[in-house]
Structure 1
Amino acid sequence: MTTVVALLGFQVVARFGMGRSFSWLEEVSRFAFVWAVYFGFVIAAEGDRHIRVSLHLGLLPTKLRLCMLTLADLLWLGFNAVVIWYGYQFTVSMFEFPYISQTTGINLVWVQMIVPLGFAFMSIRILQVMVRRWQTGEGPADARIGD
C-alpha cells in the first residue's frame, strides 16, 4: 500500500505541481493495489480474521466448534483449489497468448498471476490455522478485539 500511495502521490505532484502527467503511474499503482489486496487476504487468513458469522460458534462445545470450523475451512479450501486450478489455466493461456498493457507495455500475465498465487498462499495459511486451532482448542479470532 505504501507503493500505491507513493506512486499516486508522485502522480498528483507531477500533474498539478509540474504540469506533467505520467500515464503509466496510474496503471502501475492499480496493479500494485490489486497485489496488495490479495496479500491482505493472506494476512487475514493467517490471523484467522476473515469474514464469518461466529455468534453461534461460541454457544457450541469446544469439540463441536472445532469440527464446524474445520468443515467450513475445508469447504473454503475446496473453493480455493478451484480458483487456483482455473487461475493457473488462465495464467498459462496468457503466456501462450499475451495480452499487453497499452501504457506500460508489459504482459498482463504478471498482474493476473496473483490470483492463483494469492489463493495458494491463502490455502497454506488456512491449513496452518486449522492445525493451530486443533492444537490450542481456540476458536476464530474476534475481529472486534485488538491484538
Structure 2
Amino acid sequence: MTLVVALLGFQVCARYGFGRSFSWLEEVSRFAFVWAVYFGFVMAAEGDRHIRVSVHLDMLPKTARIAMLTLADCLWLVFNAVVMWHGYFFTISMFEFPYISQTTGINLVWIQMIVPLGFLLLSMRVVQVMVRRWTRGELPEDSRLGE
C-alpha cells in the first residue's frame, strides 16, 4: 500500500505541481493495489480474522465450535481449489495469447498471476489456522474488541 500511495502522490505532485502527467503511474499503482488486496486477505486469514457470521457459533460448546469452523474452512478450501484451478488455466492461456498493457507494455499475465497465487497462499494459511485450532484449541477473536 505504501507503493500505491507513493506512486499516486507522485502523480498528483507531477500533475498539479509541474503540469506533467505520467499515464503509466496510474496503471502501475492499480496493479500494486490489486496485489496488495490479495496479500491483505492472506494476512487476514493467517490471523483467522476474515469475515464470517459467528453469532451462532458462540452458543456452541468449544469442540462443536471448532468442528463447525473446520467444516466452514474445508468448504472455503474447496472454493479456493476451484479458483486456483481456473486461475491456473487462465494464466497459461495468457502466456499463449498475451494481453499487453498499452501504457506499460508488459504482459498482463504477471498481474493476473496473483489470482491463483493469492488463493494458493490463502489456502496454506487456512490449513495452518485449522491445524492451530485443533492442536492448541485457538478460536477466532472478535476483532471488534481490539487486540
What is the TM-score when the length of structure 2 is the normalising length? 0.98
Aligned-pair CA distance for 1:140: 1.7
Aligned-pair CA distance for 1:28: 0.2
Q: Which 4+ stretches in 1 moved above 4 angstroms?
A: none
Counterpart Cα distance in 2 of 1:37 and 1:66? 28
Aligned-pair CA distance for 1:138: 2.4
Conserved in 2, the CA contact under 8 Å of 1:84 and 1:119? yes
Q: Which residue of 1 aligns with 2:104?
A: 104
Aligned-pair CA distance for 1:56: 1.1
* Counterpart code for 1:17: G
Return 5+ residue gaps in structure 2 as ranges.
none
Conserved in 2, the CA contact under 8 Å of 1:47 and 1:141? no
Conserved in 2, the CA contact under 8 Å of 1:84 and 1:116? yes
Percent identity reads: 78
For 2:106, what is the secondary structure of its paired residue? Answer: coil
Return 5+ residue gaps in structure 1 as ranges.
none
The 5 Å alignment of 1:1-147 reads 1-147=1-147
* Counterpart code for 2:45: A
User: Number of paired residues?
Assistant: 147
For 1:144, what is the secondary structure of its paired residue? Answer: helix
Conserved in 2, the CA contact under 8 Å of 1:4 and 1:33? yes
Counterpart Cα distance in 2 of 1:36 and 1:25? 16
Counterpart Cα distance in 2 of 1:142 and 1:112? 33
Counterpart Cα distance in 1 of 2:141 and 2:110? 33
What is the TM-score when the length of structure 1 is the normalising length? 0.98
Q: Map Cα deviations across residues 110-137 of structure 1 (whole Å, 9 max, x no partner).
A: 0000000000000000000000111121
Q: Map Cα deviations across residues 86-107 of structure 1 (whole Å, 9 max, x no partner).
A: 0000000000000000100000
